[in-house]
Amino acid sequence: MLQKKVCILGPTGVGKTSLIKQFVDGIFSDKYLTSIGVKIDKKIVSDIYTPTQLMIWDLEGIDKYCGFNPRYLRGAAAYVVVMDHTRTSSFSEAIEIFKDAQRHTDSPAILIVNKADLPCTVQWREDEVKQIAGLFSHCFHTSAKTGQGVKDMFTHLAKLSTE
């Protein structure tokens, strides 16, 4: 079995930690996010060709006052950028984070549009959406509340990290 490090990035409040909680078992509490800016969980994904244990680094929410620690991205086989389709600002913030991450790693990335259980309040132009989606390896619509798309996303993330 392989062991791969993957990182979850995104603005504050988009549901990164909730997404991970839907999927994994952890031993460390969420307080580590606020104390050192990262919390680590693990999950074995076995329904792919090579079973893989994902070490999921949940990085604290990033905003204009506080960027993420690029050191945490070191060695990541893939990473995820999460945004919230009920909040317009999270869209642009996610793009900024992605561009910032690209400066420190060339690992593949997945775009997550979270809170799919809520009605979309963001109005995007179609060409805008296509352009952004094209930058990522894949785009998933997920709901941490209902679990929609979460398992598929992590399975794809595991496949991506082993390619």
Partner 1 sequence: MTSEKASQDKKEAANGGNEQAQLDALRTILYGTLEKRVCDTLRSQQRELVRDNISEALHDREQQDGTIQKVIQPMVARSVENSIASQRTEFINYLYPIVGSLVRKSVSVFISDFIEKTNELIENSFTIKGLKWRVQAWRSGIRFSDYVASQTFLFQIQQVFLIHRETGSLLHTVAANIQHHQDADLISAMLTAISDFVADSFMDGSYEQQLDVIKTEKFTLLLKSTPQIMLVAAYNGNLSPKASQKLQLTLEDIHKIYRSELKNFAGDIAQFKSTDSLLNGCLISEAKSPETQGKKFPIWGTLVFVGIIALISLYAFGWWQTSHIVDKIKQLPKSPGITITQIDTEGWKDIALSVLRDRHAQPISDWLSDIDTSFVSINQDEFISVDIQIVQQKIRQQMVQYPNVNYDASKQALIGSLQRGQRQSLLNNLQTIPGYADLQVDISQLDTIDIKVDLSQSTAVLEQTFVQLIGEISKQQLAFDSGESDIEQSQLSQIALLSARFTDIKRIAKRLNRSASLIIVGASDTSGDSAYNKRLSDIRAQNVKQALVQQGADASTLFAVGIGEISLEGNVKATRKVLFNVIFTDLAQVNNEAEF
**What is the rounded distance in angstroms from the CA atom of residue 123 to the CA atom of residue 137?**
23
| Nearest distance from C-beta of residue 105 to partner 1, angstroms | 11
* Cβ atoms within 10 Å, residue 130: 10
Q: Which one among 46, 75, 118, 130 touches partner 1, defined by CB under 8 A?
A: 75
Question: Residue 144 has which token pair?
Answer: 């941490």
Taking each helix axis from N to C end, the angle separating 150-162 and 16-23, rounded to the nearest 10 degrees, works out to 90
Compute how many residues bind partner 1; rule: CB under 8 A: 28
**What is the rounded distance in angstroms from the CA atom of residue 50 to the CA atom of residue 73?**
23
**What is the rounded distance in angstroms from the CA atom of residue 134 to the CA atom of residue 151?**
22
**Of the ranges 65-73, 81-89, 110-118, 134-142, which one interacts with partner 1 (CB under 8 A)?**
65-73
Return the H-helix or E-strand segment holding 97: helix 88-104
- Cα-Cα-Cα-Cα dihedral of 103, 14, 19, 149, to 10°? -90
Return the H-helix or E-strand segment holding 109: strand 109-114
26 binds partner 1 (CB under 8 A): yes
Question: 52-59 and 2-9: which strand pairing?
Answer: parallel
Q: Which one among 17, 18, 22, 52 touches partner 1, defined by CB under 8 A?
A: 52
Q: Which one among 22, 41, 45, 157 touches partner 1, defined by CB under 8 A?
A: 41
67 binds partner 1 (CB under 8 A): no
Binding mask 77-116 for partner 1 (x = CB under 8 A): x---------------------------------------
Would you say 56 or 150 has its CB closer to partner 1? 56
Would you say 28 or 124 has its CB closer to partner 1? 28
Would you say 56 or 83 has its CB closer to partner 1? 56
Residues that bind partner 1 (CB under 8 A): 1-5, 26-28, 32, 36-38, 40-42, 52-53, 55, 57, 69, 71-72, 74-77, 161-162
